[in-house]
Amino acid sequence: MVATNNWLRNNFGLDGTNPGAQAWLTDPWSGVEEGERPDQWDDRLLLVVVPEEPDKLAARLGGWLKEHLQKRRNTIRFLLPRNGAPNLYLDRDLIVLARAVLKAEEWKAQSAEYGRLLTRFQGELRGLLKDRFDRFAVLKTWNFADPAQCLFHVEGLKARGSQVPDAIDRSLREDLFVPEDFEALVLMATSQNDSVGKLLREIQEPRPNGEDCIPWLGETAIKEKVVRLCAKGKIAISLRGTEYLQTSSGEDEESAWRRMRAKLGTGKHLDETTLFLPQAIPTTAGGATGSSVILTPPLGPTPASAGVGGVAVPSSPPAGGGVHMPAAGPVEAPLSAPTTSAVNLIGQVEKWGISPATPVRDVTLRVTSATGAQLQKLLRSLPDGLLYDLSLKKDVE
């Protein structure tokens, strides 16, 4: 744990004051560099060092989350000092060493001796700091109305110094993360066809109604666990409507995992990556009952023509005897997709190579059942300037 000179200067004042003693509760960001403040946070895992042993842990940490963070409250890990340790900013030994580090840094250009003293004082300061913290806390249940009612997991740490972040990650993965809870949340998101981006943002926030929070392991680890569920055949994933991740018949989990693991993107791409139940993904083998889309460019120039062997033949011979074959027209290319969602149909149309400029004819959209509200919404969404036929069966009471 390396304390920067700016942090030391802001929190261990050289005028005898110690502005950091209570600032962590009332104004935690004023002594923090601009790029490290919450509005600049990226996907790095966040470790907040608590300078004193909280007198009422739930009230202090819960209140801190409510007052000083507006989002991503479930991503914070609190590093706690050992029992009985004085306030970090009021510990005389730390104050003396911190000020010695600052002065040696300022004077090292004047003499090499100060450079050697800087190295010595920094080592002593790190030694005191790394033995000071032996626990960490993460949010378990959240109560916005009354932060004192929040619950936290508090876990001991044997690691020290630079080994602490990895030790916390390992404890979260192995001791606090419940795979069954995570799977249930992912399956709920899948039933609603949520995006992966929405799922990640949901996990970064405390769960409502007193439900246990799912520990935030970082974007990479959470995405890997989502793909693992896909490799197990529990879910399917649409990658921006252009590619679908789903286990194949007879494919084992490890083979599916190796095929899928590097597929998920980052950033805005995750908001366009959607979760589906496996059977909702279109396949190329076989047909399906239910709704379908049939795209069939007709052959003949008029409805009176009948197709014979792929060639349009008039229904009656022309005057003058003989049968005259019409000039060759466009080649028929019937295409159809099995029952699936609208998003998947859009992806299938793209796979067929149908661009916005591609002409198509005799488009049939079949829906096996719908409510009146759904039918009205469907009709309102149809583009203007086209003509439509409508037929349906209505239940009569």
Count other Cβ atoms within 10 Å, centred on residue 149: 14
SS3 assignment for 116-143: HHHHHHHHHHHHHHHCCEEEEEEEEECC
pLDDT at 7 over 70: no
Closest CA to 199 of 226, 229, 228: 226
Question: Residue 260 is encoded by which pair of tokens?
Answer: 């899928």
Query: Does residue 197 register a pLDDT over 50?
Result: yes
Task: Give φ, ψ of 366 to 5 degrees.
Answer: -115, 130
Rounded to the nearest integer, the mean pLDDT of the chain is 79
Output 288 or 274, whichever has higher pLDDT. Answer: 274
pLDDT class for 289, splitting at 50, 70, 90?
very low
Q: Which residue has the tokens 């806390």?
A: 137
Q: Tell me the mean pLDDT in the region 134-158.
A: 95
What is the spatial distance between Cα 123 and Cα 129, in angstroms, rounded to a whole number? Answer: 10
Q: Averaging pLDDT over each range in 35-44, 215-224, 330-339, which range is the top one?
A: 215-224
pLDDT tens-place string over residues 63-97? 999 999 999 999 999 999 999 888 888 888 888 98
Q: What is the reported pLDDT for 44? A: 82
In DSSP notation, 314-379 reads -SSPPTTSS--PPPP-PPP--EEE-S--HHHHHHHHHHTT--TT----S-EEE-S---HHHHHHHH
pTM: 0.65
Measured distance CA(339)–CA(256) in Å, rounded: 24
Q: Sign of dihedral through CA atoms 190, 192, 193, 197?
A: negative
CB-CB neighbours of 7 under 10 Å: 16
Task: For residue 290, name the pLDDT band (cuts at 50, 70, 90).
Answer: very low
pLDDT single digits (tens) 158-188: 999 889 999 999 999 999 999 999 999 999 9
Identify which has the larger pLDDT, 284 or 142. 142
Mean pLDDT, range 345-359, rounded to an integer: 71
Beta bridge partner(s), residue 138: 153
CA-to-CA separations, 345 to 74, 263, 264, 281, 282, in angstroms, rounded:
37, 21, 21, 9, 8
pLDDT tens profile 364-383: 887 877 787 777 777 777 77
Q: How wide is the angle at C-alpha 183 spanned by C-alphas 178 and 184, nearest 5°?
A: 100
Q: What is the pLDDT of residue 318?
A: 45
124-139 per-position pLDDT tens digit: 888 888 889 999 999 9
Q: Over pLDDT 70: what percentage of the chain? A: 77
Name the residue with higher pLDDT: 50 or 393: 50
pLDDT beyond 50 at 324 = no
Pick the more confident residue, 343 or 31. 31
Decide the pairing of beta strands 236-239 and 151-156: unpaired
pLDDT band at 330 (very low <50, low <70, confident <90, very high): low
Query: How many CB atoms neighbour CB 66 within 10 A?
Result: 17
The helix/strand/coil state of 244 is: strand
The pLDDT confidence band at residue 145, using thresholds 50, 70 and 90, is very high
State how far the Cα of 152 lies from the Cα of 157, in Å rounded to an integer. 16
Q: What is the predicted pLDDT for the residue at 336? A: 77
Over residues 185-211, the mean pLDDT reads 95
pLDDT at position 392 is 79
Contact 148, 66 (CB under 8 A): no
